[in-house]
Amino acid sequence: MNILITGGASDIAFAIAKSRSQMGDAIYITSSNQASLEKTINTYRQQGLEVFGIVYDFNTAAQSIDAFNQLNDTPIHAIVFNAFTRMKRFRKFHEWSMDDFHGYADNNIRGHLEITHRFLPQMIEQQYGRLVLVSSVSAVTGTSRYGAYCMAKAALEGFFTNLAVEYSKDNILSNVLRLGLMKTSRTKLFWQKKDYQDKVNRIIPQGHMGTPEHVAHAIEPLLAKKCYMTGSIVNVSGGLPLVSSVE
Ligand SMILES: NC(=O)c1ccc[n+]([C@@H]2O[C@H](COP(=O)([O-])OP(=O)(O)OC[C@H]3O[C@@H](n4cnc5c(N)ncnc54)[C@H](OP(=O)(O)O)[C@@H]3O)[C@@H](O)[C@H]2O)c1
């Protein structure tokens, strides 16, 4: 199977790529710019993983979508929508300019729509596709000063649910992985602090944060040929948004 994973530099993308390539899949990744792509491909190579990389930037999605033409007629069987722009500043809604708030959400949404639009005709023709959105429990719980992120993830969940309605008869299955608090480089700022760890460990029903390997494990059934899941929302969160209330 040929799998496209967006946001190849992410620890979560790497864990999925590693486990799927061990299963014999060919991996295609994206990076938001050339420097990041080269660095990422080198990192993968150092870990013994050969991947094909494409520069695709959500902020210029309508133009950079043409980069996928490099693939020519290579059939893509599955897409893991993992890339997402990091929030640079954490602000309440009224502290954002309308252009910045809308721009953040719109670019992330457009980035997903362009890829889906680009690959659906091919998937319809081959009567095979596995689409997985990497979302967040924040889409349903909200998170302080993360409004634009929560809004964009929630909108995309709606879109991916609708893809399940429209394309499952073509054997193009669309599902959502809703992640909780995962230990990645993006969240290291928080989890490297013991106080933070202690606080979240008390709340998470399983008692600890997740890892990229947990996501790689959870995605397996959604990428399987015999998958009978579509339109599903799968929590990979140690139980969140349920919370533990005992010490
Ligand atoms: N970590 C968590 O606790 C957590 C929780 C819930 C959901 N998630 C979701 O899991 C996914 C991966 O998270 P992560 O923690 O591994 O995040 P991360 O380290 O910030 O990785 C994000 C990826 O998105 C790419 N990206 C950023 N801006 C982009 C743009 N403008 N255009 C195209 N690609 C862009 C980055 O590529 P470049 O480096 O090439 O720019 C990077 O590979 C995200 O969708 C995130 O929302 C994570």
Which of 86, 137, 156, 186 maximizes ligand 1 atoms within 8 Å of its Cβ, making it the mutation to test the pocket? 186
Residue 196 in tokens: 């933070």
Atom of ligand 1 nearest to the CA of 59: 31
Enter the DSSP assignment of 182: B
Residue 192 in tokens: 């490297």
Q: What's the pLDDT tens digit per position in 186-208?
A: 999 999 999 999 999 999 999 99
Q: Strand, coil or helix: what is 40?
A: helix
Q: What is the pTM of this model?
A: 0.98
Q: What is the mean pLDDT of each run of 10 residues along the chain (247 residues)?
A: 98 98 98 98 98 98 97 96 94 96 97 98 98 98 96 98 98 98 96 96 97 98 98 98 88
Q: Please name the amino acid found at residue 47.
A: Q
Determine the distance separating the centroid of ligand 1 and the alpha carbon of 9, expressed in angstroms.
Answer: 8
> Checking DSSP bridges between strand 52-55 and strand 26-31, what pairing results, if any?
parallel
pLDDT value for 246:
76
Which of 51, 84, 179, 185 maximizes ligand 1 atoms within 8 Å of its Cβ, making it the mutation to test the pocket? 84
CA dist 114 and 93 (Å) reads 27
The neighbour count for residue 4, using CB atoms within 10 Å, is 25
Pocket residues: Cβ below 6 A from ligand 1: 7-12, 31-32, 36, 56-59, 82-86, 111, 134, 136, 179, 181-182, 184-187
Atom of ligand 1 nearest to the CA of 11: 16
Contact between 183 and 102 (Cβ < 8 Å):
no
Q: Which residue owns the Cα nearest ligand 1 atom 31?
A: 58
